[in-house]
Amino acid sequence: MSIQLSEQEIQRRQSLEKLRDLGIEPYPAALYPVDALSKDIKQNFEDQKKVCIAGRIMSFRIMGKASFAEIQDSEGRIQIYINRDEICPTEDKTLYNDVFKKLLDIGDFIGVKGYLFKTQVGEISVHVEEFTLLSKSLKPLPLPKTDSEGKVHDAFVDPELRYRQRYVDLVVNPQVKEVFIKRTKLFSAMRNFFNDAGYMEVETPILQSIAGGAAAKPFMTHHNALDIPLYMRIANELYLKRLICGGFDGVYEFSKNFRNEGMDRTHNPEFTAMEIYVAYKDYNWMMEFTEKLLEHCALAVNGTTEATFGEHKIDFKAPYKRVTMRQAILDFTGFDIKGKSEDELRKAALDMGIDVNDTMGVGKLIDEIFGEKCEGNYIQPTFIIDYPKEMSPLCKAHREDPSLTERFELMVCGKEIANAYSELNDPIDQRERFEEQVRLSEKGDDEAGGLIDQDFLRALEYGMPPTSGLGIGMDRLVMFLTNNPAIQEVLFFPQMRPEKKAVALSDEEKLVLGILKSKAPMELATLKDQSALSGKKWDAAIKGLTKAGVAKVVKEGESLRVELLG
RNA sequence: GAUUCGUUAGCUCAGUCGGUAGAGCACAACACUUUUAAUGUUGGGGUCCUGGGUUCGAGCCCCAGACGGAUCACCA
């Protein structure tokens, strides 16, 4: 219960008490009648105009009987000017000398009523007539400063701190806030585009008894009342198609998906995809729809179709180049995959120095070759089309070549950001493709799904109109539109390992832990003997350690064993 | 998972050969009525990530671990 407070935190708590002693409530309940924002004030300056603003104090410049401070609101900062004898017209100067100068801190929220003016140096400022403490801040904020040459000093840059304390990151790093504003703009732009086209936004289950629609490892959970395992969504495809069977012409969903796989700078365990399905369309229509969509979104987010990503300049202006997968592989390896057997493909891949094995079927082999030799070369938005049938179990066979499917992926900067099909709606073909996936799964390809969604097949048997579907990785698209190489930068709260709680151990606990560290795991009785503690103290120590999650007692038949935990 | 770098004051970072822990900002006190990274003077503030080891002595050397970053591998 003893929280270690820094000197500055103690001072702020003391200021809080002093304010209360002066009859000032540091966390008042009443609304504050804000009528202006910093940005508007600066853009539409009117001398002497009365304003009421609110925000965090971000800097102080105290000069005797007058002071300047900066208030940061949702749109930026504005300077305020406060004069002692105007705030305190009587003999009592407490409000200025004590409350303003001493008891307020950087980070506090205050409200200010006053009028606009320009200082001698021309800075638009609010001349304070009245100020109100709205909320006291008890922890000092990091304080990046920008000097006269525009250089930022002491920037709050440690990624670990920034991701764990995003609220602080957002307060002190305006460019971070901008990324998330753009993220929201992207979602609105896309939603508007779909709504204008007449399609309907829907919601489908996140807890599913079969996690289908993609090849990925799901998170597993359990429903107590039903006493059944449930999986968290890895894709929403199968549910959206059921809705097309049900008679909607176009449905879309922004879906949080969950995949229990590795984490790195481009993968977070939960991420956001957008999937849309439109009846009576095919993948050719969807390509045109997609390029128009992305052009629209880029414009809405950045005001231009051009975007910078690292060293690349990309342009989302439609139309985009279309390259068949066969042609792509031919272009970059000189190898023609058309009509090749599994063995021929495996040999070709091995000759190219690609690590492949016997569990890989034709589709996987081609995917490996493409991924290794071609994918990275497509910088400008490019549609890769006509994927082999084996790697697209939910996609309709190509109308001209049954060994291919009517599928495209959109590549940008060497990464996939969209995936689309002429959806497979032949229920018998679909069942066979699922069964083939199960066979692959049994063979050892752990990407292929192991369970067949019978209900989805039943829906297809009732009939699904010809449909084209599209999926977009929203996080990746935000990364491209905001020039961020890490997914953690475009998620408010990226997944992190839990912060290690500092465990304050008693002397007895330390003693037991010391013995345990040299010899764990060990017999509980032996450990107790070596600790030479009284029965009562021993009991408290081992219970304390297990409760703190440092050690664990495991029962094995008759014997009790103590293990050390991370 | 592998390699590698990092972890020191609220924040950003120095820290020499192993010898009492440093700077800037922030904080406290005083001065100062239109400042601009405001200024001047003075002062306070540390679990040097954790645990072992070597040593008369460890922020620094050695071992083990935690967390994070980067690169690679795996993976949509």
Nearest to A125 by CA among A55, A74, A77: A77
| CA A476 to C1' B2, whole Å | 26
- E strands, A119-175, are 124-135, 145-146, 152-153
Q: Which amino acid is at A230?
A: L
Q: DSSP code of A317?
A: P
- Kindly tell me the burial class for residue A344, based on how many C-beta atoms sit within 10 Å of its own C-beta (0-12, 13-18, 19 or more): middle
- Name the nucleotide with the smallest C1'–CA separation from A215: B76
pLDDT at A32: 97
Protein residue closest via CA to C1' of B1: A262
Q: What are the pLDDT tens digits along chain A (566 aa)? A: 345 788 899 999 999 999 999 999 999 999 999 999 999 999 999 999 999 999 999 999 999 999 999 999 999 999 999 999 999 999 899 999 999 999 999 999 999 999 999 999 999 999 999 999 999 999 999 988 888 777 888 889 899 999 999 999 999 999 999 999 999 999 999 999 999 999 999 999 999 999 888 888 899 999 999 999 999 999 999 999 999 999 999 999 999 999 998 888 999 999 999 999 999 999 999 999 999 999 999 999 999 999 999 888 999 999 999 999 999 999 998 999 888 888 888 888 888 888 777 777 788 888 888 988 898 889 999 999 999 887 788 899 999 999 899 999 999 998 899 999 999 999 999 999 888 888 877 765 554 456 889 999 999 999 999 999 999 999 999 999 999 999 999 999 999 988 765 444 555 555 565 555 545 556 677 667 666 666 666 666 666 555 555 556 666 556 666 665 53
Token digits for A41?
């004030």
pLDDT at A448: 45
Sign of CA dihedral A184, A185, A189, A195: positive
| CA A102 to C1' B8, whole Å | 30
| φ, ψ at A465 (rounded to 5°) | -65, 160
Q: What is the ipTM of this complex?
A: 0.89
Token digits for A61?
């410049």
| CA A144 to C1' B22, whole Å | 21
- Name the nucleotide with the smallest C1'–CA separation from A154: B12
Instruction: Give the residue carrying structure tokens 């709205």.
Output: A134
- Name the nucleotide with the smallest C1'–CA separation from A163: B68
- Contact between A470 and A418 (Cβ < 8 Å): yes
pLDDT at A136: 96
pLDDT at A499: 77
Q: Which nucleotides in chain B have some atom under 7 angstroms from a protein Cβ? A: 1, 6, 9-13, 24-29, 31-39, 44-47, 51-52, 65-76
Q: Which amino acid is at A97?
A: N
- Contact between A516 and A522 (Cβ < 8 Å): yes
Token digits for A239?
């549910």
Q: Which amino acid is at A37?
A: L
- Name the nucleotide with the smallest C1'–CA separation from A5: B10
- Contact between A392 and A259 (Cβ < 8 Å): no
Angle at A38 between CA A36 and CA A43, to 5 degrees: 95
pLDDT at A278: 98
Protein residue closest via CA to C1' of B44: A7
- Name the nucleotide with the smallest C1'–CA separation from A418: B76
